[in-house]
Structure formats: structure tokens, C-alpha cells
Amino acid sequence: MLMSSWLKFSSVVLLYSAGCLILWGIPEAKAANTVAFNRDIRPILSDNCFACHGFDSKKRKAGLRLDLAEGAFATNKEGVVAIKAGKPEQSELWKRLLSTDKDEQMPPPESHKKLEPAQKELIRRWIAEGAPYQKHWAFEPISQPVVPTVAGPKAAVQNPVDRFIRARLKLEGLKSSPEADRATLIRRVSFDLTGLPPTPAELDQFQSDKAPDAYERMVQRYMDSPRYGEHMAKYWLDVARYADTHGMHLDNERQMWAYRDWVVSAYNTNLPFSDFTKYQLAGDLLPNPTPEQLIATGFNRCNVTTGEGGAIDAEFIFRYAVERTATTVQAWMGLTAGCAVCHDHKFDPISHREFYSLYAFFHSSADPAMDGNTLRTAPMLQLKTPENEKRLAEFDKEIAATEAAFTSALSSVVYSDPASLNPPPMPRDEEVVWVEDAPPTGWKTTGTPNFAPAEGGKVFSGKSALRRQGAGVIQDVFETDTPSLVIPQNGKLFAYLFLDPANPPAAVMLQFNTDSWEHRAVWGDAEAIQWGEKDKPSRFVQGGLPKTGEWVRLELDIAQVGLKPGDKLKGLAYTQHGGTVFWDKAGVAGRVDPANDPMNSFTVWTKQYDGKEPQEVPENLRKIFKDTASTNRSPDQITLLRTHFLTKVCLSTKPVFDPLNGALAEIKKKRNEYYEAVPQTFIWRDLETPRESFVMKRGAYDKPGEKVTRNVPAIFPPLANTNNPTRLDLAEWLLSPENPLTARVTVNRFWQQFFGTGLVKTADDFGSQGQPPSHPELLDWLASTFRDSGWNMKTLVKLLVNSSTYRQDSRIAPLLLARDPENRLYARGPRFRLDAEEIRDNALFVGGLMDMSMGGRGFRTYQPPNIWEPVAYTGSNTREYKQDTGGALYRRSVYAFFKRTAPPPFMTTFDAPNREQFCTRRERSNTPLQALQLMNDVQHFEAARALAGRMISEGGSTAKERLLFAYKAVLSRAPSSRELSILTSTLDQHLTRYAADPEAAKESIAFGDSKPPEKANPGELAAYTLMANLILNLDETVNRN
Amino acid sequence: MDPILQHQLQLTRRQFFGNTGLRLGGLALAMMSAKFPGGSALGAVQKQRVHPPLPGFPHFAPKAKNLIYLHMNGGPSQLDLWDYKPGLEAHFDKDLPASVRMGQRITTMTSGQGRLPVAPSMFKFSQAGKSGRWVSELLKHHAEVVDEIALVKTVHTNAINHDPACTFVMTGSEIPGKASLGSWLSYGLGSENNDLPSFVVLTPSWSAKAAAQALFTRMWNSGFLPTKHTGVALRSGGDPVLYLKNPPGVSPSDRRAMLDSLNKLNHLEYQRVGDPEIQTRISQYEMAFRMQSSVPDLVDLKSESKATIEMYGSDVTKPGTYAASALLARRMVERGVRCVQILHRGWDQHGDLPKEIRAQCMDVDQATAALIKDLKQRGLLDQTLVVWGGEFGRTVYSQGKLTHEDYGRDHHPLNFCMWMAGGGIKGGISYGETDDFSYNVVENPVHINDLNATILQCLGIDHSRFTFKSQGLDQRLTGVEQANVVKALLA
């Protein structure tokens, strides 16, 4: 850009001082007899003067304002006038420009700004001509220019686009180029509309189609393909800064690919741009919003967020709102509002206060300051399919059935409280089983314990035993956060096990957790399992290894492992060192006095909790215990307590309810797992009570100033509804016919996409620091036509692609290159390098590897090691890259998983943005790293091998036929005889080389996950693979011509 | 004939016979196109620079040609390394006086803590060098080169959390999307080496606990500058530069043969289409081919003497360590790479600070001092600027448990220590003073933007004139506000 601003000056110099019409950078109109403020003067003033004499009231020097006529023409206190219309010599501005006095001259020396002589001359002429001011062009209403009439055959003038372009070319004395040949055309259209090359069949069809509308129908075919939306979406996803991770600090995965898929489908279904806008900015405010309308609101949830410990909430709430405001303003209005975060905009009429009035629209988002580093940061929308709904209903039915069984069991269960019996029952010895065929109800396990049924192994009691086999210290752990199992008086802990005589462990250990895990007993080699301290309760040595080949009861006193009666059990673990062990039935045996035991007597159980808040019971029961004295409890409350007691606590009713508890927990767990697996997506919702918004002094999150309400900057037409306007009002305002920017900015982005450069080159800046349009009338004509068509995107695309301007040959004659190096006059067709996605997709497509499945979570293609790992936070869930396998490796690039802090190299090497912020225009660089990647990256080399396989199997039997096949598949043309001779001799060289080194051939064709054809001759395939690699590396291959 | 041998013969012949019409035409066109990207056609006569400087750069005669930036990621504790505060012992476990804190913001990790007890450093400091600089016992090798170093005790930053602070220290903005320091240098000054990238980044292993703060590729991204100025990560595992190695079964000769045809075919296309970008692509493929030998040569340490290896310490032979990275940095500036950045993670000591910082210093102390000595003995220190520092400092008060031997420290953006050495820098000085608690600057604050302005100054660039127009603004590394070169640091 430094270069281009230099060129801009040069153009002025050449245009006016030399009086000739050589064009550099932005072409200036030839008929520039009078000076036009917007075209000629504003850029000079904006670059050199507005920083101190512009819109920013705080930075304004000497009270002088040059961006408005009123300011420039006003006489100040000393009687000095900056600009006296018609009289340069009486204008202070002109005198200061000429001054050589360091204190007087403008711009001042310390600004490092300087006007060229030609620029000064322009200023002088402008003042002499009366110094007419214009509003900045982009803020003037969109005009409906008359389409110029130009003579010429239909082929040269397909539609009004061409009339504007040709009229200008005529003025410049230039001629347009002829239409490109059909092969070039179809390749250009196919890439531009689908991001993929045409198939040889499509090429043949188009070349043999003699109908006059063959081209238009070819365009329509590509536009109707689902590939169209996939390709178009990527441009908008850059604008929307869509990615699959949060973007800051941990940069964990976030789930919002439904938004990406929505963008794809919006283009495929040709959603009008008006709805496209409304859904994304305010879909949640539409009446009864559909899921699609809500998914679309993800647009402003795509911004980077943080979950960094220590971060200050207020700072990030502020930042997110600023970012969302700036992105929205850039995307729809093409203005760099971000400047006004800290101060009045220096160049454009957006005041500091006005920025915060826009910010107020976005300041009340319901998402939190800290994203929690989770996959799903609320507000989320669950994406239930009918199939999901059906399955969930089935789960609910199963749950209801189990609950019914529960209720009926409850009504028939027989229980009498031992405490109420007279005389009370005698104390007795009793075994309480904790683990039988499953972990205790509601407990968590590590991994999935292998409860093997009787048919598959040894079982001591019940239906199954837990089998564990392995090396080193291995174990099954059962835990709970809400302990209810109680250690009894004189308790003896026990468990049964069976040691496989063929593979005994070195030691077995039982571990218990009440306050901590420091309660262990070991049998066998006391050093084999090192936890705790030997001969202490933390590793009590209970004896040698039990006898193998038979069921043995392990037993120990609670005191030996430091447990006391009344302790509540939080965890139990079966641990072993190596070997094969079957574990079965564990629990505690002890002296139980039913009338005084909380697990037998309802009265005793409730009494222990009176006035307390026991964590082990559900919330509603806890409240009863705490708030209601036992004497005051209602029958309903007592029933609640009693039900819980009988179904979850009581030992005598345990045999009835344990299986039911287990079944219910199981089905609920399954339902929950299923429910959680249903994808969700980030959506926008406002807080119930909107936040108050303030002008933030100097853009500091903790320095609120004056309070503001939602509004739009005064330079623009007002909102239709100014009474507490919403985001929907803002969206409607962007789409109103009076809005000067939305349509212009949008058509310009489309133009840029198809012609390489926008009519306004600075597609992200339509302000006074941006460049003026090269064809202002065409821009306005397109903008008004697009708007009046009902914002029909496909119609607009067709208008551009069907124009003869687009269809021109792209060959660059040296003179034309010198005259218009950037092709801003469109005297030739557009030629530019393919984007990152297209380059990868093309290789997979011509190799026949591509998997066309659409949508869903981002897939993970080939990626060299050490892209994520060396940078990622250690605890990040996007630290270790796990490459997909099979078809997923070959899906279209638009669906590739995108980690923002370490994006995929196949994207960034070819200039894809890192999606940390809005991007409306990708660069097209040309670097050695690109060459290395195209030559050596496994996905490109594998695609070359696949193409080579096709050359051999489908191309024919001779080298020539096979090379022709590859050229047609990749370049949609046949090689010239000169090219063919280069190719053939290279092929011969490779064939000889691999015939002499079959091992090298085998290695080369084995690169990549997919397998080479079994019948292939390795030497031949390897040689053709290098040829395909060569063809895929051609400059012509990575360009669309 | 062997394709590589043939290629070399051709190159020689071209140089002998001078330029061809093709290349002259291509070059002229490329220059006229205003998009002249630097590479010329293959093997041009005059030495064409692959990474040329911008016209008018450097702005004035530079003191340093290259930059080695040693970034200690996570925020090293200035109190335990450089900012000696002997008086703190008397305040052990006493609350940080309110008059010192002055209500300034602290992170939410300690804002909920009942009190903010002062934790004096447990490490001994002693004076070193002619300058008598106080240096912690953790940096005993640094003590040997302290007279080369200009220590800045009063660097301060805007951000209090890692992500924004890292982004700020490297790009001059807390918001992602701006260009990094190394990218700015590559853009403005280009690089002298035609076979290596102009800006190279290393991310070595570290020894504190595994759970270290993250890095972000935006710390070496080109942001709004052309993408070719993005730092190239030199990797310790796999290919040193991505996709450098030919696929299995493909030899350098095979590659040469393929490239020879590729160039011919691309040239035919250029004749047909006339797009100067095609010429650029031809030259970029040639550079890629040269990198396939120049990069392995760069990372092969076999030619280093035993004395050198010993100077950097035993870690230097382990690929991916900080010591190995430091030696590679020297090898790169020797070869004319403009900017080398080493980002060493693991300096975020919220707890268990004494143990962890000791491990971190073991990683970097000897190798950093060796780098300075090594540059000096080769006469490279005069033309190389070395910068050391993190994204912020750490608090005088303890986070979590405090004993004389165990404490942690939270993030502290108000003042921290960085140092500079080499080309353009006055060695043996200390700049700026902090209060008795190393909590506030009392004298000569140096904002990150000032520091970056000073770095650019050493490299011959006037930061205020070094701009790039993006999003309607003249973007600067040193931001919108006035930044000042710290003249006192300059030799």
C-alpha cells in the first residue's frame, strides 16, 4: 500500500505535469478538465490535512476544519480565511502550502508529509474554480446512472456492465480483448462458481454445444450445483471470521459449524441478501424465528473470546461489543469504525460518541465475558433432527415405564420401622453389599468396568464378576460425590476374588476413600503397589497373595485401614499389579442394631438430619430437613422423605429397589449421552435487561463517560424507528433504499471476487482514506440494480459472469501491461492465482480422491506434526492434532477444522486469513514455501499419485494419450507439441530412473493413506506420479485464467 | 547427465554470458507492473536480492543489521532476576502498603485473595562486571556478560493477561491482526540471504511444569503486511521448514529434473500469457530448491567447534532445546537472516516460583550468555541487536502460600525488566528506577512502544515514518500515540 500511495501520487504527476495519459495504479478519467473535489482534492486533504483539521474535534488545531466548506470558508478571529473561493492568493491555505518558513509551512515538517508540485497545482486550480465541496462520494445517495450507449456486436456487449466498461475504454483509447476460448472460459467459470475445475465430460459438452446460449446455460449448471454454495461461502466466512476454536488463550474447540453450513446453504438456496443480513444481525428478533434464522445470528458470535484465568470481565464484555460493532460496520458499510473507539474518527464523520451509539446495539449480548473454554458457551441452539426427536421420545417413554415400575414397587413394598417395634429387634450381624453386578447406584467409574457375565468367565455371586487383566498397576475405581454408605460398628470390609493360576498378579489391593484415599490393604508383594506408607493404614499389609484358582474372601477390620464407624464411603477401588483377576461382591459386614441404625430405621435416618443440610440427599429433601422441624412436617413432606429412604437408603428394601435404581440410572445416563451428542451451535440472544452503554474515554473499558443510546451516525439517513431501536431496526436501516453504503459495499465485494480487484480497490474502506471507485457510475448502477432486484445474489453473479468483460481473454500484451498493470480498466480478462481451498480441492478432485460429503464438524486432514503442539496451551483440547482417516481426509477445504492460533498450513501458506478478525480481501502472494508445499506435501503428492493412476488406467496405453488425459483433466486443454516433447522426455527420464531403482519407486507410490492400485507397475506409476506432480505444480494449474 | 550437475553448469554459463533477452524483458515488465515481488528470473547476473528492502530503507545508517529477540513467555519475575530490592526482607509477609498499590487493577486470580503479603526474593544477588550490576544467583552466566547489556528496569505494558500482553509486546496492539515486529523488519529491510527466509522463529522446549502458557502464531504473523513477511517457524521435529523434504523415493536429482521441465513449461506459458507473476513463480521454485540444501546445512551443527559446543552447554546438542536454538540464531544472523525470534515458554510462576524459575534459568542462562560471547568473538555483536524479556513482570506480593523458600507471583504490567545488547546499544548501563517494592516506576518509564521504537532505531528505521496503510490508517508498530526512542540506551 505504501507502494500504491506512491503510485497514486505518480499518476497525478504524470497526468497533469506531463499531460500524457499513462496510467498507473488507479486510472484517472481522461476527461478531467475541471477539478472534482472527491476525485482530486479530498484524497490530498485527507492524507495531509484532516488529521489536524478534520472531523476529530479533540485533535483539531487552530480551530480550523477543512473537511467541510463552512469550516474552510469561515473567517477566524484574526480575520484570516483558509479558503477564499476563486482567490487562491487570498487563501491562507494556499499561502501556507507555499511557505518555506518552518513555523508557517503546511503540512508542518514534523508530520513528514509533503505535497507534490502537481498536487499543489491541483489545490490552486480548485480554489480558483471556486473551491466547490462535495460530500464524500460514498455517503452520497446511490444514483441510478444512465447506461451508456456503445456501438458494437452483441458478443462485445452482453449486458449493461459491458457498456460502462467499454465507454470508459473508448475514452482511454483502449480496446477490449476478444472472448477467451471455450476451454479457458469453462475452467474460469467452473473455478469461480464452484472452486473446482470442470470435468473432461463437462468440457466436451460445452465445446460441442453450438446453441447461442451455451455459455449462459453452462454458467447456470455450475450455479445450480451444491458446490456453488461451498465455494461462495468461504468469502463470507472470511468476513464473518468463522473458525472452530475460541481464538484466545486456551483456544479450545467451539461448536458452531452449523453457522458455516448455514452460510453454504444460504448461497445454494439463493437467500436474498436482505434476509441474509437480517438473519445474521437480528434473526433472534424476527417473529417466531426458525432454527435457520437463529443459527445465522452466530455471525456475531464468531469473534475471538477468552477464558483466561485472571482476565477482568468488564474488559472483555467491552471488547467483544467493540469488535462486533466494528465488524458489522466493516462488513456492511465498508467503514473502519474501529478508529472511533478511542477518539473521533480523523478522516470519516463518525464521532467517538456515534461509535458508542452503534456499539449500544451489540452491547447487551447474553454471552459471558469468559467463554469457559468449553465447546458450548451459552446461548446455544440445539440442532435436533426429527430422528433425534424420535429417539429422545423413545428414551422418555422408557424412563416413564421404569418410573411406573418404581411407583408400583413402592406401593407394594412392606416395611415397618424397627425403631417403632416393641420390643425392638435384636442387634445382628449383617453383610452390606456395595458392589455386586454393577458399581453402587449413581457412582462414577473410571473407564468402563468390565463386568463379565457368567458365560464369559468366573462368577462368585450375582450375574457377573469384574474381570481385569494387564501389566503394572491397574485398577477399577468407583466414586461418588454424595456418599450415603456408612461404615458400621465392628465392621469388617470384604471382597471376593479369583486369581487366574496361569497369570496371577504380584499383589492385590483394596482401597477406600472416606476423607481421602489413604486407606489401603494389600495382599502379596507389599512393594508392588507403591501408594501410601507400608505397614500403616495407608498401605496395610494384610497377608500373602491369596490362593490362586479358587474364590477367596479378602477380609479386614476397618481399624486396620484407619476407618471409623460412621464414616461415609466416597470411593472404593480394586487394584492389582499385573495378572488376571476376577473381582466379585464387595461390601462390609458388621454388627447392626436395626432400631438404632439409620440404614434400617426411617426414624433414625431422619433424626440425624434434622435442622441440617445433608449433601447426600436431593435439594428438595435438604430443604425440608433444614426448614421444617420433624414435628411440623406435612404428610406430603413425610412421603417424600420416606420414598427416598425406602428406595435409596434402607437395607431391607434394597433388594427390591436396587435393580430399579440401576435400570433407571442407566436409561437416564443413556438419554443424557444421546442428548449431549446432538450438536449445538452458538447463537445471539440479548440479556433480559439491556446493559447501559457509555462513551468509553480513550477506549478504556473502565472509563465510562457520557451515557449513549442506540443510534446511527448523523451523516447518514436516520433510522426509521428511533424509539429504542433494536438490531432489527439497524438491519432494516442498512437495507433501506436511502442507505448509501450496503449495496455499494456488497456489489463491490462480488466484483472483487470475479475480477480480482474491486471497483473500489480498498474493499474494506469506503471512507475518505479508501480509494475512490474506478468506475463510479458502474458501481452505482450495480448497487441500485442489485438492491432493486430484491437483493438477488445469483442474479448479480450472473450479471457479472455473463458479461463480455468477464469473458475476455486474459493475455497481457506488453503495452497494455505498461498502461494498466493492475487491469483496473478491464481491457483484458481477469487472471489470478487460485485461493488456498481451491488449490487443495483441485488436486484432490483431478486425482479422483475427493469426498463430497457436506457439513458437520470440521474434518482434520493431513497436517505435519508440530503445528499445534509447540504453541498450544498444555491444557488445550486443540493441542494434539489427531488426523482423520479414510474419506474424511479428502473432504472439501471449506469444511477443514480451523484452529485460529495455529491454522492449517495448507490454508495460511496460500494467504488464507487466520480468522482472528474480519477479512474482506485475501492477498495473493507467491513464495518458495508454496512451491515446497505443492511439491512435497503428502496430500499433493498423494493426489499426484492418484492422478497418475488415472492416467494409466483411464488415459490410454501410450505415454502421449496419458499425458493428454492429464492435461485435459487439470488444464482443460491439450498440450502443444513443444510442451508434449518436454513432457515426454521428462517422463522417459523418470521411467529409466525408476526402472533402475524399484525400491525408490515403491516408496514413492506408498506415500499417503490411500493405497495405490494393486496391479500397478511401481516403476511406471512412480514415474507418472512425478509427471502428475509436475503438472499440478504448473503456474497455469494454480491460476485461473 | 545428472540433472543437478547440468543445472549448475547452466547457471555458470548464464552468469558468464550475461543476461538474456527473456530475463531482461521479464524484469522490466515486472518492475513496470508495480508488483515487483523481489524474485527475478532464475540466476540473474547481478546479485538480485530475493528479499529486497523497501525503497528508501533503511532510513539512516543502522547500528545493527539483524535482530535476535529472546522472548521469555509467561512473564519472568523481575524481582528474582534483575530488580534487586534488599529492603523487602523487612516486609516479609506484611501487607503491600495501600500507598504502593494505589488501587491499581490486579488480576482476578489475586483480587479475591484476603491479603497481598510481600514476598522478598529468596535468591542472592551480587554485583558483577565493571558496571557493578546487581544480578541474581540464577543468572550467573549473565553476570559474565553484564557489561554488554543495557538493562531496562521500567518497561511497562497495557495488558494484564497473557494473550493480550503477548500480542501487544510482539505487534504493538492487544487486538489480534496487526503485524509482528519481525514481519515489519522483513518488510522494511528485507534480508541479505537469498536462500533462507528473512524472519525465522524458534519455539524451544522448557523445563518448568508442563502446563505452560500458550504461544500464538499471530506473534510472528504479518497481519496486514504481505503474507510473505510472516515468520517461518524452524521446527525441531519433522522437516525443519514445512514440506522441505522430498517425498520418499524422490531424490534431489528427480526433483531437479522435474523442476527443469517445470521451468520450461512455465516459461512457455509466460510467453503465451505475459503475466510477470509467472516469472516470479519460476524464481520461487528455484529458491525452494535452494532451501532444500541451505536449511539442512543451517541446522547441521557438525561444523561447530568443541569449544563452541561447550560454551552453550550440553543441551545444545539436543534438538529443540533453548541452547540449540540460541546457537542456531547465531548461525542464522551469520547467514544474514534479518530477524530471529526465540520464544521460550514456561515463565508463568503463579506458585512454586523458586523451583520453577530455577529450572527456567537453567534452560536459558548459559546459552544466552554464550550467544552474546559467541557473537562478540565473531565480530557479529556489533551488527546484531539482542533483546531479552517477557510480556509483563510479576507482583511483589505472593499469590497463594508464602514462606521464605516458597511463594508465587501474579502478573504485573506496571514495571518489568528487559535487556538489550549489541549493535547500537550502550553496554553496562541500567535504565529506569522502580520503587522499593518493584511495583511502580519512579523514574524513566519505558513503554513497550518506546522499546519497539528503540529497536527500530538501532536497525536504522525511524519508527514514526515506518507506516503501512491498512483499514484507513497509517499503521505503525509503535501505535497511534507518540512513542519515543530511549536515547539513553543508545551507544
pLDDT tens digits, A1008-1023: 999 999 889 999 999 9
Q: What is the pLDDT of residue A10?
A: 33
Please check whether residues A485 and A532 belong to one and the same domain.
yes
Q: How far is B263 from chain A (nearest CA, A)?
A: 9
| Contacts of A672 by beta carbon, 8 Å cutoff, 6+ apart | none
Residues in chain A: 1041
The model's pLDDT over A554-564, given as tens digits with 9 standing for 90+, comes to 999 998 999 98
Q: What is the pLDDT of residue A813?
A: 84
Distance, in Å, from the CA atom of A233 to the CA atom of A407, rounded to the nearest integer, reads 54
Mean per-residue pLDDT over chain B, rounded: 89
Q: Is A1024 helix (H, G, I), strand (E, B) or coil?
A: helix
pLDDT level of residue A16 (50, 70, 90 thresholds):
very low
Q: How far is B131 from chain A (nearest CA, A)?
A: 38
Distance, in Å, from the CA atom of A536 to the CA atom of A560, rounded to the nearest integer, reads 8
The CATH number assigned to the domain holding A578 equals: 2.60.120.430
Distance, in Å, from the CA atom of B187 to the CA atom of A31, rounded to the nearest integer, reads 38
Name the burial class of residue A831, with classes exposed (0-12), middle (13-18) and buried (19+) by CB atoms within 10 angstroms of its CB. Answer: buried
The answer to whether the CB atoms of A873 and B287 lie below 8 A apart is no
Alpha helices in A309-420 (DSSP H): 313-328, 352-362, 386-412
Interface with A, mutate which of B104, B168, B250 (most A CBs under 10 A): B250
pLDDT level of residue A53 (50, 70, 90 thresholds):
confident
A146-175 burial code (b ≥16 CB/10 A, e <16): ebbebeeeeebbbebbbbbbbbbbbebebe
Is A531 part of a structural domain of the chain? yes
Q: What is the pLDDT of residue A456?
A: 61
Summarize the confidence of residues B220-238 as an average pLDDT: 87
Q: Is A457 helix (H, G, I), strand (E, B) or coil?
A: coil
Please check whether residues A275 and A335 belong to one and the same domain.
yes
Within 8 A of A1020 by CB-CB distance, chain B residues are none
pLDDT level of residue B12 (50, 70, 90 thresholds):
low
Q: How far is A942 from chain B (nearest CA, A)?
A: 10
pLDDT level of residue A455 (50, 70, 90 thresholds):
low
Please check whether residues A608 and A692 belong to one and the same domain.
no
Is A916 part of a structural domain of the chain? no
Distance, in Å, from the CA atom of A29 to the CA atom of A8, rounded to the nearest integer, reads 13
- Among A720, A743, A763, residue at a domain's last position: A763
Please check whether residues A343 and A404 belong to one and the same domain.
no
CB atoms within 10 A of CB B237: 12
Lookup result for grid cell 507555499: A98
Summarize the confidence of residues A753-760 as an average pLDDT: 96
Q: What is the pLDDT of residue A293?
A: 98
Please check whether residues A341 and A449 belong to one and the same domain.
no
Please check whether residues A537 and A649 belong to one and the same domain.
yes
Q: Does A978 touch chain B (CB under 8 A)?
A: yes
Lookup result for grid cell 508530520: A111
Residue A807 above 90 pLDDT?
yes
Is A958 part of a structural domain of the chain? yes
The model's pLDDT over A291-327, given as tens digits with 9 standing for 90+, comes to 999 999 999 999 999 998 888 999 999 999 999 999 9
Q: Give all strands (DSSP E) within A488-579, no chain letters.
A: 489-499, 507-513, 519-524, 540-543, 551-557, 571-577
> Could you give the percent of chain A with pLDDT greater than 70?
96
**What part of A 313-372 touches B (C-beta under 8 Å)?**
313, 319, 323, 330, 335-336, 338-339, 342, 347-348
Distance, in Å, from the CA atom of B96 to the CA atom of B99, rounded to the nearest integer, reads 8
Looking at per-residue confidence, does A623 or B480 come out higher? A623
Which residue type sits at A514? Answer: T
Neighbouring C-alpha atoms within 13 Å toward the C-beta of A204:
6
Give the CA distances from residue A663 to residues A192, A413, A659, in Å, rounded to whole numbers and listed in that order: 57, 18, 6
Please check whether residues A585 and A620 belong to one and the same domain.
yes
Q: Is B24 helix (H, G, I), strand (E, B) or coil?
A: helix
The answer to whether the CB atoms of A989 and B257 lie below 8 A apart is yes
Judge contact between A465 and A583, C-beta under 8 A. Answer: yes
The total of structural domains in chain A comes to: 5
Residue A328 above 90 pLDDT?
yes
Q: What are phi and psi of A433, to 5 degrees?
A: -90, 125
Q: What is the pLDDT of residue B345?
A: 94
Judge contact between A840 and A939, C-beta under 8 A. Answer: yes
Give the CA distances from residue B402 to residues A310, B105, B121, B122, in Å, rounded to whole numbers and listed in that order: 20, 22, 11, 11
Distance, in Å, from the CA atom of B384 to the CA atom of B405, rounded to the nearest integer, reads 39
**What part of A 788-817 touches B (C-beta under 8 Å)?**
810-814, 817
- How many degrees, rounded to 5, is the angle at CA B292 between CA B288 and CA B293? 130
Cell representation of residue A845: 478432485
* Partners of A680 in the β-ladder: A382
Nearest to B264 by CA among A582, A496, A978, A891: A978
Is A942 part of a structural domain of the chain? yes
The answer to whether the CB atoms of B247 and A1004 lie below 8 A apart is yes
Is A877 part of a structural domain of the chain? no
Judge contact between A335 and A717, C-beta under 8 A. Answer: no
CB atoms within 10 A of CB B368: 28
Judge contact between B338 and B199, C-beta under 8 A. Answer: yes
Summarize the confidence of residues B78-100 as an average pLDDT: 95
* Nearest residue in B to A1041, CA atom: B273
Cell representation of residue A287: 417473529
Mean per-residue pLDDT over chain A, rounded: 90
pLDDT level of residue A30 (50, 70, 90 thresholds):
very low
Please check whether residues A649 and A664 belong to one and the same domain.
no
Cell representation of residue A833: 492465482
Q: Does A767 touch chain B (CB under 8 A)?
A: yes
pLDDT level of residue A818 (50, 70, 90 thresholds):
confident
Is A142 part of a structural domain of the chain? no
Is A587 part of a structural domain of the chain? yes
Q: What is the pLDDT of residue B44?
A: 37
Q: What is the pLDDT of residue A903?
A: 92
Please check whether residues A356 and A428 belong to one and the same domain.
no
Summarize the confidence of residues A182-210 as an average pLDDT: 98
pLDDT level of residue A644 (50, 70, 90 thresholds):
very high
Q: Please report the number of interchain residue pairs, chain A to chain B, with beta-carbon separation below 8 angstroms.
A: 272
Residue B75 above 60 pLDDT?
yes
C-alpha torsion sign, points A718, A720, A725, A729: negative
Residue A329 above 50 pLDDT?
yes
- Among A78, A113, A134, residue at a domain's last position: A134
The model's pLDDT over A392-412, given as tens digits with 9 standing for 90+, comes to 999 999 999 999 998 999 999
Cell representation of residue A64: 480550523
Please check whether residues A711 and A633 belong to one and the same domain.
no
Nearest to A883 by CA among A865, A909, A902: A865
Q: What is the pLDDT of residue B42?
A: 35
Q: What is the pLDDT of residue A336?
A: 83
Residue B484 above 80 pLDDT?
yes
Summarize the confidence of residues A178-185 as an average pLDDT: 96
- How many degrees, rounded to 5, is the angle at CA B205 between CA B202 and CA B210? 135
| Three state DSSP letters for A658-677 | HHHHHHHHHHHHHHHHHHHH
Nearest to B72 by CA among B452, B332, B357, B441: B357
Please check whether residues A673 and A599 belong to one and the same domain.
no
- pTM recorded for the entire structure: 0.80
Residue A29 above 60 pLDDT?
no
Judge contact between A1024 and A948, C-beta under 8 A. Answer: yes
B23-50 burial code (b ≥16 CB/10 A, e <16): bebbbebbebbebbbbbbbbbbeeebbb
pLDDT level of residue A55 (50, 70, 90 thresholds):
confident
Nearest to A243 by CA among A255, A235, A232, A233: A255
Is A364 part of a structural domain of the chain? yes
Q: In terms of residue numbers, what domain contains A669?
A: 386-413+655-678
Q: What is the pLDDT of residue A62?
A: 83
pLDDT level of residue B1 (50, 70, 90 thresholds):
low
Q: How far is B293 from chain A (nearest CA, A)?
A: 13
* Out of A213-227, B5-19, B298-312, B327-341, least confident range: B5-19
Residue B19 above 60 pLDDT?
no
The answer to whether the CB atoms of A822 and B34 lie below 8 A apart is yes
* Out of A617-626, A732-741, A813-822, B350-359, least confident range: A813-822
User: What is the set of domains in chain B, with CATH numbers?
Assistant: 66-243+305-468+480-489 (3.40.720)
- Among A81, A101, A134, residue at a domain's last position: A134
> Could you give the percent of chain A with pLDDT greater than 90?
64
Q: Is B432 helix (H, G, I), strand (E, B) or coil?
A: coil
Q: What's A281's DSSP letter?
A: H
Highest averaged pLDDT of the listed ranges A162-176, A253-267, B230-244:
A253-267
Q: How far is B161 from chain A (nearest CA, A)?
A: 6
pLDDT level of residue A443 (50, 70, 90 thresholds):
confident
Q: How far is A218 from chain B (nearest CA, A)?
A: 25
* Out of A806-810, A868-872, B82-86, least confident range: A868-872
pLDDT level of residue A23 (50, 70, 90 thresholds):
very low
The answer to whether the CB atoms of A936 and B245 lie below 8 A apart is yes
* Closest CB from B243, B257, B264 relative to A936: B243
Q: What is the pLDDT of residue A326?
A: 94
Q: How far apart, in Å, do the first and last CA atoms of chain A sit?
A: 25
Q: What is the pLDDT of residue A56?
A: 78
Q: What is the pLDDT of residue A881?
A: 94
Residue A585 above 60 pLDDT?
yes
Please check whether residues A468 and A598 belong to one and the same domain.
yes
Q: What is the pLDDT of residue A15?
A: 31
Residue B45 above 60 pLDDT?
no
| Contacts of A985 by beta carbon, 8 Å cutoff, 6+ apart | B261
Q: Give all strands (DSSP E) within B336-408, no chain letters.
A: 339-344, 384-389, 393-398
